[in-house]
A = this chain, B = another copy of it.
Amino acid sequence: MAKKQRVAVSPAEVCDCEMIHADSVAAVLEGLQDKALLLRNAEFFKVMGDPTRMRIVAALDQSELCVCDLAVVLDMTKSAISHQLRTLREANFVKSRRDGKVVYYSLKDEHVRQIFELGIEHLSEEA
């Protein structure tokens, strides 16, 4: 009984429908990850969820490269690449080091490499 009170407000007040399976809903609400954590997780996947950023990660997965090299590899302008590198940097996907006029980028950690490669693996299996 006490458990049921976990659903604090009446469903009718917060959404446009009745609660069909009160038990399931209560159980899921109980075990569900923290909303903030899930949002951060979405944010993480979102970074990889862009064609250009995905290709940059794939390229850096092989070798450290400068912005110019990346522009050649992806066949895009330095500006476009640089904008996306900013996003990747802010999301902690890549790190950079400067040597003279040239800025070299590389993947930040195994973490990123692991997720990227797992995605590739799964797609390869499906085929």
Contact = CB atoms under 8 A, between A and B. Distances in A.
A54 B72 contact: no
Given A42-B49, A42-B54, A78-B16, A115 B119 contact: yes
Given A28-B59, A118-B118, A66 B16 contact: no
Nearest to A127: B37
A100 to B, nearest CB: 11
Contacts of A75: 14-15
Interface in A16-40: 16-21, 24-25, 27-29, 31-33, 35, 37-40
Q: How many copies does the complex hold?
A: 2
Q: State which size class the interface on A falls in.
A: 35 or more
Given A58-B38, A119-B41, A15 B49 contact: no
Interface of A: 7, 11, 14-21, 24-25, 27-29, 31-33, 35, 37-51, 53-55, 58-59, 62-66, 68-69, 71-73, 75-79, 102, 111, 114-116, 118-120, 122-124
